Chain A
Amino acid sequence: MVYAGLGIAAVLCAILAIRATRLLSAALWLAGVSALVSILLYELGARQVAVIELSVGAGLVTVLFVFAISIAGDDALGERTALPRWLAAGAVGALVILLVGMALPVDDATVEAAGGSVQAALWDQRALDVLIQIVLIFTGVLCLLGLLAETRPLAFAPPAARSIARQDALPAGHEQVEPVREPALEEVR
């Protein structure tokens, strides 16, 4: 009963996040989904994942969303949608019915218990996953730095652009000296 209540509440929060017109409201409903999912995971016995989901999903990601919305603005885009609502609802309904029909009823037969803790499973069985996670984190940080960096003139930019950039970089009161212009061929003649 507890599981059903938590699952229904999480789905309701997800629907409200999708239907919210303001982005900030949608981000807060998403935080609610994360919190309810983490409670669900805790009740299932997945304590470590529940704590990580609560701190990362409901905490860090929500802060990132609020930060991005404060920069990009909370502009509503009106009622027009990318696809007609009836078409999207029909496609999603068909997909969910197919998934439920394929997965249910679940066979109660269980495989042999693997045993061990999360640490053992993570470091012994899924060591490659840990390596990929580390690479993913570094990739994310590098992409974030590259995307949010201020635009600078490139090293291979044309000379005119570089001289403009140097002129901008000079402190106030320091005029740049004009380069000596070589006489053109017609002037020499």
Chain B
Amino acid sequence: MSTLEIMLVSAFALVGAGLYGLLITRNLIKVVIALQIMVKGALVALVAAGQASDQLALGQSLAMTVIVADTVVAVIGLAFAVQVKRVRGTLDLRALAELRG
């Protein structure tokens, strides 16, 4: 396998691990962790694609945008989780659901 193929397989595996965490977890903070893992996979895929197409600078600039957006998502998600814990007393997504059906 070439370097790009190894990078792409690693990126897909990271996205898969993050998606698995998103599907099974019930904890609000763990949802943010799973999202972070998925974004790491996208980051690796962006830089690998940039290197493979000889446009590494473009890939890096896109990766920087992804890092900034990812950090803002993590900050807002964690602040939201802290407030939910203060108000509702739990981080369990099942217990937070108002509508049941």
CA A95 to CA B13, docked complex, whole Å: 10
In chain A between 98 and 114, which residues have their CB closer than 8 angstroms to a CB of chain B?
99-100, 103-106, 108, 110-114
Q: Given the interface contacts A15-B17, A126-B62, does A147 sit within 8 Å of B76 by beta carbon?
A: yes
Interface size class of B (residues with CB under 8 A): 35 or more
- Our pick among B2, B37, B63, B76 for the contact of A14 (Cβ within 8 Å) is B37
A126 in contact with B65 given A34-B40, A41-B44, A121-B58 (CB within 8 Å): yes
Q: With the chains together, A139 CA to B57 CA distance in Å?
A: 27
> Chain B contacts of A116 at CB under 8 A?
57
Cβ of B29 and Cβ of A72 under 8 Å apart?
yes
* Cross-chain contact A46 with B54 (CB below 8 angstroms): no
Inter-chain contacts of A157 with B (CB < 8 A)? none
- Once A49-B67, A72-B85, A137-B68 are accepted as A-B contacts, the answer to whether A57 and B29 lie under 8 Å apart by CB is no
Whether a CB of chain B sits under 8 angstroms from the CB of A160 is: no
Interface size on A, residues (CB 8 A): 86
Do B29 and A18 have beta carbons less than 8 Å apart?
no
In the bound complex, residues from chain B placing their C-beta under 8 Å from that of A110 are: 52-54
A interface residues with partner B (beta carbon < 8 Å): 3-4, 6-8, 10-11, 14-15, 17-18, 23, 26-27, 30, 33-34, 37, 40-41, 44-46, 48-49, 52-53, 56-57, 60-61, 64-65, 67-69, 71-73, 75, 77, 80-83, 85, 87-89, 91-93, 95-96, 99-100, 103-106, 108, 110-118, 120-122, 125-126, 129, 132-133, 136-137, 139-140, 143-144, 147-148
